[in-house]
Structure 1
Amino acid sequence: MDERLVTAFAFIEASGYIAPILFILFHILRQFLFIPVSLVCMAGGILFGSLLGTVYSLIGLTLLSIGFYFVIKWLPGLSNKLFKMKEKWFGQSAVLTTGQISILKLIPFFHYQLLNLCLVERKREFPSFTKASLLSNLPLAFFYTVFGQYITRFSPTMMIILLFSLVLLFYVLREKVRVVQWNEFFETSKG
């Protein structure tokens, strides 16, 4: 782990009663320090135990998502950049379900804010977005907090099996309806 990260977690651990508040704030600030969500959740399990670590990580991730909701509404340029990235990764007409977003948040190399954008696209109203954000962050906070210590001990075979299982679950949780544009339909039927 990075020395700065170890120092930050040592400071949080030594801060006593305000440690949970500092940890939650660290969840919000970690994106500017380019620290993966999974590392912060794992540290929450080490610092506070499985139950409290999960709760504090869930609060921090949900507050981060709520902040993203308001920032994305105020900065349309950022929104456009993220929509272009979404189009490259998922295609032009892909609309992910909350379950699919939850699964993708478990995979460390997916862009967390891009997945929040997909959630904003799916749930445009603030109360429904907040609820969906809480639900999509729950598996992430739980999995990495509770099982985070054991993930580092997995063999490469076990990691491949785990990733394959997540991809399969992602496929199963997809939306079963596909909307085809008029022009797309007739272009494919000509060939």
Structure 2
Amino acid sequence: MKHSRVWIAIGLLLLAGGLLYFNHQVLHIRPAEVKEWIVAFGWAAPAVYMLVYTVRPLILFPASLLSLAGGLAFGPLWGTVYTVIGATMGAVVAFGAARLLGERFVKNSDSGKWHAVQLQMERRGFIYIVILRFIPILPFDLVSYAAGVAKVRPYAFIMGTLIGIIPGTFAYNYLGSSLASGQLSTIVIAAALLLLVILLSLLLKKKVKLK
């Protein structure tokens, strides 16, 4: 049984690595290209964009690239709205998949950082999800999978994700929309805003302990 879990884990890692390589090295997709593909759907473009964001965790497509494309396609306001909805639905998909399948792979991990994160999620629920979404302690999708395995209530997970991702999402979408405008002043302001969000999250990260 243990050997089978090891081989399954190796297979999943190889699959993840292959998807990442395909996304970054083979497709060479840029935000502008994603934007052109999205807007080609016309009135259905927002729904298609949110659907793509929903399945994104399963194909390991870069979230930052998709957020920039959302800003390019829909502007800072609606780009943020659609991205927050899509990213939250994608997080729910990862959360549900981990709740159904993930426990068999991590149930024996009772020490170290994983156990600390799991305990904090179970004890603090909503507020800890908000913190993990805003501060880059762990990758976005890993937080969803970890919460699915931990005993986090779905409502707390959804609301924590929804609230926690708003600042970073707006920053990325504003940057994307500024690139579409082509105005140097707007681009500088958007880049400064994104940098501010990143610096603030890094400063807060030093004050947040996993244990």
Q: TM-score, normalized by length of structure 2?
A: 0.61
Helix, strand or coil for the counterpart of 1:65?
helix
Change (3 A) 1:79 1:146: farther
Letter of the 1:101 counterpart = L
The question of 1:103 aligning with 2:126 is answered no
Give the aligned partner of residue 40 of structure 2.
14
Give the aligned partner of residue 203 of structure 2.
168
Change (3 A) 1:14 1:142: same
TM-fit CA distance, 1:28? 2.2
Give the aligned partner of residue 51 of structure 1.
77
- 1:51 and 1:98 map into 2 onto residues whose CA distance is 24
Number of corresponding residues: 166
Which residue, out of 91, 94, 116, partners 1:93? 116
Letter of the 1:145 counterpart = N
Q: Deviations over 1:133-158 (max 9, x none)?
A: 2112222321211235548x969xx9
Q: More helix per residue: 1 or 2?
A: 2
TM-fit CA distance, 1:40? 0.7
Note the residue ranges of structure 2 that are not aligned, 5 or more in a row. Answer: 1-23, 122-127, 179-186
Helix, strand or coil for the counterpart of 1:71?
helix
Helix, strand or coil for the counterpart of 2:165?
helix
TM-fit CA distance, 1:55? 0.3
Query: What is the CA RMSD across the aligned residues, in angstroms?
Result: 3.7
Give the aligned partner of residue 145 of structure 2.
117
CA contact (8 A) 1:13 1:47 kept: yes
Note the residue ranges of structure 1 that are not aligned, 5 or more in a row. Answer: 179-191
TM-fit CA distance, 1:165? 3.7
